A = this chain, B = another copy of it.
Amino acid sequence: MNKVCLGIDLGGTFIKFALLDETLRMVGETASVPTPANQGAGAVIAAMVAGGKALLARHSDVKCLGVGIGSPGPLDLANGVVIGMPNIPGFENVPLRDRVGAGLGLPATLENDANAAALGEYIAGSGAGSKLLVMLTLGTGLGSGIIIDGKVLHGAHGIGAEVGHLIVEPDGEPCGCGQRGCLERYSSATYLARRAQSLVESGRASSLAAVLKTTGQITSLDVLRARNAGDALAAEVWDRAIHLLAIGCVSLCRVLDPDLIVIGGGMAKAGDDLMVPLRQYVQQEHWKLSKLAARLELAKLGNDAGVIGAAGQAWAVFH
């Protein structure tokens, strides 16, 4: 009988499910159900359990050893508890690991969604064979995961791999976390767009002024489009975000010496418009004592990275 582990990736919009066999290959297809985000934690957990059972029922020829759950946080990993969840109300101090595990009758493990995505890229995406992989997810915030020799770096208290809160500018812009000058405040999609909007609102000339007037807000995609159409303000904002992201990548090279930095999240859809200047800035900013040893690549798995990594983490814990 084929042994598998089940992965469940809890997102604000969808819950995803996948099975990985012992060789970490997917068994069948991923499955997905809408997240009943407005119905409270009980409904969300019920949907996770029902979806997991439904996927396992379609594979009666497998024996499931355990379930790995990827979840937004902050989390208390040691106890499997969700401390809070900005996008899904009602998730305060919920023992998600044990409730989903009990519902499925399986041993369960909880993992941070960004760590799970990094592990997913390591298992089945850009990261195959990497010795030390850092994944940066550029979206609303700047999420990250670090995989060393195939294992998630958790740190001493389960709060490591928060590269979005690497300080890139002393006494820099205040961050929601309470620090100043965090990388996330310069290089995430949200803050890049917010910076463009605030410059336009302060009266700087830009084609983005018309966008703001029409739609009421500027997105990172608007900034990219305007930059590619020759708008100087948009180019300046895009360029600064990528320059500071490159400085963050160089600092990661010095501290961790990765062979691969994977860039994912919504902003990664910019493709070469992101990666070409990013690679140039990293080459420019990094030291001259040795050649740049880290590759910078786009993520390959898109939204599937988290669920594959969640199942992979179950294998790491329950094999």
Contacts and interface: CB of A to CB of B under 8 A. Distances in A.
A293 interface: yes
A259 B256 CA distance: 17
A153 B149 CA distance: 11
A166 B146 CA distance: 17
Given A159-B293, A160-B257, A257-B160, A287 B153 contact: no
Give the size category of A's interface with B: 35 or more
A307 interface: no
A156 B293 contact: yes
A289 interface: yes
A289 B182 CA distance: 14
A32 interface: no
A131 interface: yes
Contact of A254 (B153, B163, B254, B257): B163
Given A163-B254, A286-B179, A156 B130 contact: yes
Contacts of A254: 160, 162-163, 165-167
Contacts of A206: none
B168 A167 contact: yes
Contacts of A157: 257, 259, 290, 293
A97 B165 CA distance: 39
A159 B290 contact: yes
A289 to B, nearest CB: 5
A178 B287 contact: yes
Contacts of A146: 255
B256 A178 contact: no
A122 to B, nearest CB: 13
A296 to B, nearest CB: 14
A169 interface: yes
A66 to B, nearest CB: 22
B250 A179 contact: yes
Interface string A170-212: 1000010111100000000000000000000000000000000
Contacts of A130: 156
Given A165-B287, A179-B286, A288-B177, A257 B159 contact: yes
B251 A167 contact: yes
A154 interface: yes
Interface of A: 74, 130-132, 146, 148, 153-163, 165-170, 175, 177-180, 243-244, 247, 250-252, 254-260, 285-290, 293-294
Please list the 6 inter-chain residue pairs (A to B) with the smallest Cβ-Cβ separation, ordered nearest first: A155-B257, A178-B288, A160-B257, A156-B259, A177-B287, A131-B156
Given A167-B168, A178-B289, 13 more contacts: A132-B155, A148-B148, A148-B153, A156-B260, A157-B259, A159-B293, A160-B255, A165-B254, A167-B251, A178-B287, A178-B288, A251-B251, A255-B256
6 contacts: A74-B289, A74-B290, A154-B257, A159-B257, A165-B254, A180-B285
